Structures are given as C-alpha cells and as structure tokens.
Amino acid sequence: MAAYTASVTVRLKPGVLDPEAETTERALERLDFDLEELRSADRFEIDMEADSPEAAAERADAMAGRLLANPTIHDYSVEVEPAEPAAGATR
Amino acid sequence: MIAVCQFGGSNCDRDAVLALRHLGFEAERVWHADGLPAEADGVVLPGGFSYGDYLRAGAMAARAPILREVCDAAERGVPVLGICNGAQVGTETGLVPGAFTTNASARFRCEHVHLRVENAETPWTAGFEPGEVLTLPIAHGEGRFEIAEDTLADLDDDRVLFRYCNEAGAVTDAANPNGSVDGVAGLLGEHEHTAVLMPHPERATLPDLGGTDGRTILRGFASEAEG
C-alpha cells in the first residue's frame, strides 16, 4: 500500500448552461478584464492508501460516478499522484 | 400514514404535514435517521435546503440511508412525492430521470406561476382536465430541469405532469421561470406513483395563501396512499 492523492475534476458537459460562470464572467468584465469565456469546475482532492495508482484511480472514479458528479449534467476526469509527505513529518 | 421525511435543512416538512392534515389525511414528520416507519403508505420528500445544498441541491439527502428505504417502498407501490428540494433529491436518487440545476437567470425565484396539466390520467392529476391551467407558488434557485437529449426523446411524453405556461396556457420562454428544458415543472418516475414537482402544492392548500390548486394534487396523492 502507498499513499496517493486523487484529484477529481467535475465539469458541466459541453452545451449545459452555466449561469454562475456567466455571472462570474460578467463580474470580471466589470472589473475591466478582457476575456473570451469563463468555465467553472469543481475539483476534489482525495488522499487515500491504495495498492497502485491504478487502484487509486479506480476508487476515485467510482466516487465521482456515485456522488461527486451527476451524470446527467457533468463530465469528470481523475488524476492520481503520490501523496506529498505532510509538512513537518520528517524527523 | 404519510411520512414526510425531514433532513437537516428541510424547511417545508411542517407545511406538508399541515396541508395533508388540513385535507383530512394522516401525516407525520419522520426524522431521516429514524428510518421509514413500516406503516408509511405514502412518502413526501419535502422542500428546503437539505444538508445546506452541499455539493449539489439534494445530493447528500439522496445518499442518506432512508432514501434506500424510500426507493424500496416505491418499488412496492408506495406513492412518493418530491417537492422542490425533494424533487432535487428525487432526481439525484434516480427515482425520476434528469436533474434540477441552477436557474438560467442565476436568481432565486419566489413567486406564483401558471402550470399546464399535460397528463390528467395519473393519481396526481386525475382531479384536473388535460390542458387545465393552475397556479402554484415556486421558491427555488436550482429548478432548471436538464436531461440528456436522447433521454428526453425516450421520455414518454405521458411522464410530464406539468409545464410552466402563461395565464392562457401557452408554454413560452417568458413563462418559464428557470429555463427548464421543454418547460418541465413536474414529472413522473418510472412508476406513475412516483412524482416530483418544483412548485409547492402544500403552499397552495390552506385557505388565505393565495390559491388552493395544490389541494387537488395532494388529495390525489393521499388517496393513492390510502387506497
């Protein structure tokens, strides 16, 4: 077993209206920023112990499928990296 | 007895109990962690903000153990009505297809709306004529019905109970308060005794609340439960 951090990014499917992103975009424009389009996404970072990166990815994928994303409106992607040692953990 | 499931953050549970009792039906609030009572012959998933709308409206309550019991009860033929947040819980659970998400306007809408009866041959709508226009209150920020195009095509049109419309009964963009696909305001699940609505029939049942069109829906539901 090893420690991994799985990052799950949940996005609206292309074509699904995102009124919050549109509102955020307008607020940035009101602050005089130039931009073409803004898309928002939710990102979940999940620390876990697993036998392999593949096993960690599979578990995170299942979490996204069962709860973190709603398949009617969302797509999601999963990335797995070895967990960073906690700060101050060295002796 | 009709069980009104209360979650942390539910706020229309008392209203639902009061409205059903006003119509002469037995109704009790049931705290979700206590589980669904065996004598429940009908279930209301009430409005509110269960679990503070964390993650997505309805997402947490939909994974609470009592929802497993509610789904099992629905399989046995127990009528289940999801109202507003309860409708969001219903889609998140998969009791009904689709999803309710952020209003197209990005604004919370709290007002009375007109609804057209699309299918009057369900327990919920049997007291109406097809095409009849009723008035019910809405109060939601995440009521835009979304569904994959192919699922929408597969969705037998008989499963749409109500569409947002204008006073004359025309389904128009202007009359659609949240940008719902096809103006869908309420629909049936796989079984005709499972339904969700974004509008609030329990807020249009007692007199002096600006209309009583909700009575017909609740009577249909409760009669089904007692039958």
ipTM: 0.87
What is the span of the domain harbouring residue B139? 2-226
> CA–CA separation, B154 vs B152, rounded Å?
5
Contacting residues for B208 by C-beta, under 8 A, at least 6 apart:
none
Q: B151 or A7, which is more confident?
A: A7
Chain B contact set for A23 (CB, 8 A): 106
DSSP letters of A10-71?
Answer: EEEPTT---HHHHHHHHHHHHTT---S----EEEEEEEEEESSHHHHHHHHHHHIIIIIS-T
CA distance B209 to chain A (A): 31
Q: Which residue has the tokens 């002469």?
A: B24
Per-residue pLDDT of A8-66, as tens digits, reads 999 999 999 999 999 999 999 999 999 999 999 999 999 999 999 999 999 999 999 99
Chain B contact set for A68 (CB, 8 A): 55
- Provide the 10 A C-beta neighbour count for residue A87: 6
Per-residue pLDDT of B194-219, as tens digits, reads 999 999 999 999 998 889 999 999 99
Give the rounded distance of the alpha carbon of B153 from its chain centre.
22
Asked if A18 lies within 8 A of B147 by C-beta distance, the reply is no
Domains held by chain B: number: 1
CA distance A91 to chain B (A): 38
Chain B contact set for A19 (CB, 8 A): 102-106
Name which of A66, A68, A72 to mutate to probe chain B: the one with the most chain B Cβ atoms within 10 A of its Cβ.
Answer: A72
Quick check: A17 contacting B, CB < 8 Å?
yes
Question: Could you give the dihedral angle defined by the CA atoms of residues A47, A62, A42 and B57, in that order, rounded to the nearest 10 degrees?
Answer: -120
Cβ A60 vs Cβ A73: under 8 Å: no
For B99, name the nearest residue in chain A, comparing CA atoms only: A72
Q: Which residue has the tokens 């009375």?
A: B112
Q: What is the pLDDT of residue A71?
A: 94
Identify the structural domains of chain A with CATH numbers, from first to last: 2-82 (3.30.1280.10)
CA distance B5 to chain A (A): 21
For B61, name the nearest residue in chain A, comparing CA atoms only: A67
Asked if A72 lies within 8 A of B148 by C-beta distance, the reply is yes
Q: What is the CATH number of the domain that holds B136?
A: 3.40.50.880
Chain A contact set for B106 (CB, 8 A): 19-20, 22-23
In the predicted structure, residue B110 carries a pLDDT above the cut 80: yes
Per-residue pLDDT of B43-65, as tens digits, reads 999 999 999 999 999 999 999 99
CA distance A39 to chain B (A): 15
In the predicted structure, residue A86 carries a pLDDT above the cut 70: no
Asked if A19 lies within 8 A of B146 by C-beta distance, the reply is no
Q: Roughly what angle, to the nearest 10 degrees, separates helices B13-22 and B214-226?
A: 80
